[in-house]
Amino acid sequence: MKLFRMLTASNFLRQAGFTMVELLVVISIIGILATAVLAALNPVEQLRKGRDTSRKADSSTLLGAIDRFQASFGCYPWQWVVSTSTCNNATPLTSAAVTAATFSLTSTPPGVLSQLLAKSELKDVFSSRSTITNSEMFISVANSLASICYEPESNTGRGGGFGPLRNSLNTAAGTTCTSATYTGAALTATSTCAVCVPQ
């Protein structure tokens, strides 16, 4: 009787679990579903969109800081003369005088970012953002309008999803990204794949 009970309990435990084949089938189905979901979401493109969104937000922040600097001191950061703490308004606001330049502490025109930081128009931590350290954003001055431009990385951005595509000096509308992929190279006066803020 005792032996019968032990055998019955052992059979019950064996029948209550999953077989190896059943587990493999379930794992395979989960793997197929996970692959389908990842393919639909395209995580690489989502990361690129996120970086483009960050570039656009940082561009807006920088443009706001430049506008505040101009409102406070009567000139733009590249017109500020550090040695005399005055404005050199002889430097006109034209693309010939101020071409597309990187926002770095050693940029040309000199000291744009450092002037914004020194006058507390930007927080110090802003200079350590990847968009700044990688020199991904550029000043563009044309038609008496300062803009911040960057090359979009995502397919959405390269198709105009983050705003109209312009040249890097924000003077030509309707341009396209001739290269199918993001180059990450510095924008030049002849670049035709840029998103500028303001648009």
| 0.85 surpassed by pTM | no
Looking at the predicted structure, is the pLDDT value of residue 98 above 50?
no
**Residue 91 neighbours by CB under 8 Å, 6+ apart:** 78, 79, 97, 98
Give the pLDDT band of residue 83 (cuts 50, 70, 90). confident
Euclidean distance between CA atoms 181 and 42, whole angstroms: 16
Give the pLDDT band of residue 27 (cuts 50, 70, 90). very high
State pLDDT tens for residues 31-44: 888 887 777 778 88
Percent of the residues in the chain that have a pLDDT greater than 90, as a whole number: 4
Euclidean distance between CA atoms 183 and 192, whole angstroms: 12
Q: Are 104 and 113 in contact (CB under 8 A)?
A: yes
Q: Are strands 86-87 and 101-102 parallel, antiparallel or unpaired?
A: unpaired
Task: List b or e across 89-124, with b for residues whose CB sees 16 or more CB atoms inside 10 angstroms.
Answer: eebebebeebbbbbbbeebebebbbbbbbeeebbee
